Chains A and B, each alone.
Chain A
Amino acid sequence: MPLATQVPANGHADAPLLALQDCTVRFGGLTAVKEFSASIGPRDLVGLIGPNGAGKTTCFNLITGVYAPTSGAITFAGRPIQGDKPHRIAALGISRTFQNIRLFGSLSVFDNVRASFNLRRRTSPASALLRGRAFRSEEKEIEDRTMEILEIFHLHRQRDADCRSLAYGDQRRLEIVRALATQPRLLLLDEPAAGMNPTEKDELMRLIRFVRDKFQIAVLLVEHDMKVVMGICEHIHVLDHGHKIAEGNPVEICRNPKVIEAYLGDEAGAGKN
């Protein structure tokens, strides 16, 4: 089936972009994620929340191929991707940022983004030796597109700066730019608001919405900060100890007693132990 027919005009009920079915990840005796199922549509803005150690980042690593599921299936745009290597999954159109910023420390802002264009590069590595016309025109094209995307996110002035010298918020932004340069259909953001002050968080929320609308992609967000998650996500999955305990829109999640217990639970649940 051609891809185009799989992308519906609206909703994701019939053709999700990403679907996880009963995914379990076990590390030795520890079950980090248990029978997790979820689906994300082509333009969805979905949140994944849960207390520390709930398995959120494990879910990310599962989707991006850092881990393979112990059992269960993951399909992206209609094809199974469980067990694929990270770079294959990136090529299919899933990109991500990291909880603790992982920029390429020795590279400039420009090169951090430029490296991502390798994924869609047409000329062969050997053409870098001969430096013929095709090579030069593609390098120029990549340079232009890198500058273009840096400009969209107001990072073009710092193009030659050492990426480690950027302000914290700018580094987070650069990570998002770098991920977008791989031209994903699904962007995973791992705690993008971590370490940000309230003003920066507001800025970030605007940015995430902007990314989704401008690039027409789906966004999956792991976040601790309730204000951010409730503020922008249309659909939320809640994990606790590797189990999905709730799913729904922000209002439903706020009212869900299981979610409240998971977050404030120690006191409420103390009597049961």
Chain B
Amino acid sequence: MNRQIALLLTIALAAGAAMLAGRMDAYYVRILTFIGINVILGVSLNLINGHTGQFSLGHAGFMAVGGYMAAWITVNFGVGFTAALGGPSWWSEAALFLPALLAGGIAAAIAGLVVGVPSLRLKGDYLAIITLGFGEIIRVLLQNIDAVGGPRGLAGIPSYTNLFWTFALAAVTIYVISSLVDSTYGRGFLTVRDDEVAAGAMGIDTTRYKVVAFVIGAFFAGVAGGLYAHSTSYLTPEGFTFQKTVEIVIVVILGGMGNNFGVTVAAVLVTVILEALRFVNDISWLPEWAKDLARNRTMLFSLVLIALMLARPQGLFGTWNLSRRRRTGREEIASAQRA
């Protein structure tokens, strides 16, 4: 029951943070929001890439689907809906925002199903290429749908996202994915990653597990997209390029594939470091080449990724996490070896 208490505590904490946000520098609130969104993106991609071992590069695409869907709803029906509930208030906004986020998540989940079912016959590099293609298709489609602004982008999205929604939903994401994986059912995801043939022979419906991972992962990416849309209040297809996917993939690899705790920490680190890189110009003693490198994030990220793969392919945290079973497990083995 600890995990349910932890979930409720985090949501309460998120509400507290949201109340304090008014007194905080808007810039820090913004960074905290991005941290929450990146946690959702990282943990949800971790289910697909980490736990289930299906290397997907389509996460920015799922995020775009959810973001646009949620924003389209609030932009087009927001005013009428809140007016019908007696004008803008925190609860009329919540009554609009939460269903909009859900709709975004569901739209992304459907996209996940549509992509997942045919492409999950593919493995490894081929799956990566297909999902990468999907992300690009989504972007080009959005550029050509006039109802959401096409290449001009979708403007005037109400700023509903606050720290409460962001952190509460991040907590829900972590809760859902970690509880799912931490069960007999959830071991199935890991068996698919480790050995598909053996998993099938032990009665694991590997295709079904892969589709479930894709659908759930895409759902939360869609929710994250909705949060993102309502925090920047402006969406453009160019915000969901391959580079966004790479950012999320790096979060997952950095945190350790299949380690929700590590991925959560990595999401915080990556967001903060990306932000901190904006200030390197102010550091006078830094040589010019280092500043150039810092300004060129893509290059820096590639270098970090290469270094990480060489030095620590299991990610910063490997399989280390906060669960007790593993730690007591190690002690038991150690004591058994001593005996």
Return the CB mask of A51-90 against B: 1 if under 8 Å, else 0. Answer: 0000000000000111000000000000000000111001
B292 within 8 A of A: no
> CA A66 – CA B200 in complex, angstroms?
9
The answer to whether B191 and A161 touch across the interface, beta carbons within 8 angstroms, is: no
B183 within 8 A of A: yes
> CA A87 – CA B192 in complex, angstroms?
12
Report the minimal beta-carbon distance from A61 to chain B, rounded to whole angstroms: 9
Report the minimal beta-carbon distance from A198 to chain B, rounded to whole angstroms: 28
* Interface size class, chain B: 35 or more
For B185, what are the chain A residues with a Cβ–Cβ distance below 8 Å? 118, 121, 125, 128
For A114, what are the chain B residues with a Cβ–Cβ distance below 8 Å? 184, 187
> CA A161 – CA B202 in complex, angstroms?
21
A24 within 8 A of B: no
From B82-90, B150-158, B264-272, B329-337, the one touching the partner chain is B329-337
The answer to whether B202 and A179 touch across the interface, beta carbons within 8 angstroms, is: yes
From B9-17, B103-111, B203-211, B279-287, the one touching the partner chain is B203-211
From A6-14, A34-42, A105-113, the one touching the partner chain is A105-113
From A91-99, A212-220, A222-230, A257-265, the one touching the partner chain is A91-99
> Chain B's interface: helix, strand, loop or mixed, by majority?
helix
Considering the complex, give the chain B residue whose CB is closest to the CB of A117: B184
B199 within 8 A of A: yes
> CA A159 – CA B182 in complex, angstroms?
17
Q: List residues of chain B with CB under 8 Å of any chain A CB.
A: 1, 3-4, 175-176, 179-180, 182-188, 190-191, 193-195, 197-206, 212, 258, 319, 325-326, 328-330, 332-333, 336
Q: List residues of chain A with CB under 8 Å of any chain B CB.
A: 64-66, 85-87, 90-91, 95-96, 98, 102-108, 111, 114-119, 121, 125, 128-129, 131, 135, 138-139, 142, 157-161, 178-179, 181-182
- Which 5 A-B pairs give the minimum distances between C-beta atoms? A160-B329, A119-B203, A90-B203, A86-B200, A128-B183
**5 extra interchain contacts, Cβ-Cβ under 8 A, other than A86-B201, A104-B190, A125-B185?**
A125-B212, A128-B185, A129-B179, A129-B180, A157-B336
